[in-house]
C-alpha cells in the first residue's frame, strides 16, 4: 500500500518570502500522479498543482512549483512571493495510475503567513 508522509506539521513564512513544504511517499509503482491540495479555513479542498510521475519536468502554476525527485520519492511544494491568502493546510496526495482510483493523503502541513 502507498503511504504519504508530511514531516512538517506547521510552517510559517513572512509575507512575500518563499517557503517549501516537504512530502515523501512510498510506492512500488512506476506510474502514478502526485498532487498538492490546499484547505483554507473554509475547509474546501482546492487543487494547487499536480505532477505526472512519467514527466521529468517539474510542474509549475504561477507562484507554485514542485521539486519532484522520483528516485528519492520526494515531492516538495515551493510557494514564492507568499501572500496572506496562502495561509491554509496543505495536503500532499498520491494517486496510482494503474487502476486504483483513490487519493492517498498525507497528514498535512499548516502554513501561516506572517504579515
Partner 1 sequence: EPEVTQTPSHQVTQMGQEVILRCVPISNHLYFYWYRQILGQKVEFLVSFYNNEISEKSEIFDDQFSVERPDGSNFTLKIRSTKLEDSAMYFCASSRTGPSSGNTIYFGEGSWLTVV
Stretch binding partner 1 (CB under 8 A), from 15-23, 28-36, 59-67, 71-79: 28-36
Choose between 82 and 87: whose C-beta lies nearer to partner 1.
Answer: 87
Residues 40-79 that bind partner 1 (CB under 8 A): 42-47, 50, 52
Choosing from 10, 60, 102, 114, the residue that interacts with partner 1 (CB under 8 A) is 102
As a three-state string, the secondary structure of the chain is CCEEECCCCEEEEECCCCEEECCEEECCCCCEEEEEEEECCCCCCEEEEEEECCCCCCCEECCEEEEEECCCCEEEEEECCCCHHHCEEEEEEEEECCCCCCEEECCCEEEEEEC
Amino acid at each position: 500500500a502507498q503511504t504519504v508522509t508530511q514531516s512538517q506539521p506547521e510552517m510559517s513564512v513572512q509575507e512575500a518570502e518563499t517557503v517549501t513544504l516537504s512530502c515523501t511517499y512510498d510506492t512500488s509503482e512506476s506510474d502514478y500522479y502526485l498532487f498538492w491540495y490546499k484547505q483554507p479555513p473554509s475547509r474546501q479542498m482546492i487543487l494547487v498543482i499536480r505532477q505526472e510521475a512519467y514527466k521529468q519536468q517539474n510542474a509549475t502554476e504561477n507562484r507554485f512549483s514542485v521539486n519532484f525527485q522520483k528516485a528519492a520519492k520526494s515531492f516538495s511544494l515551493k510557494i514564492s512571493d507568499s501572500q496572506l491568502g496562502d495561509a491554509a493546510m496543505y495536503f500532499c496526495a498520491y494517486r496510482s495510475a494503474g487502476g486504483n482510483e483513490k487519493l492517498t493523503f498525507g497528514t498535512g502541513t499548516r502554513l501561516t503567513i506572517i504579515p
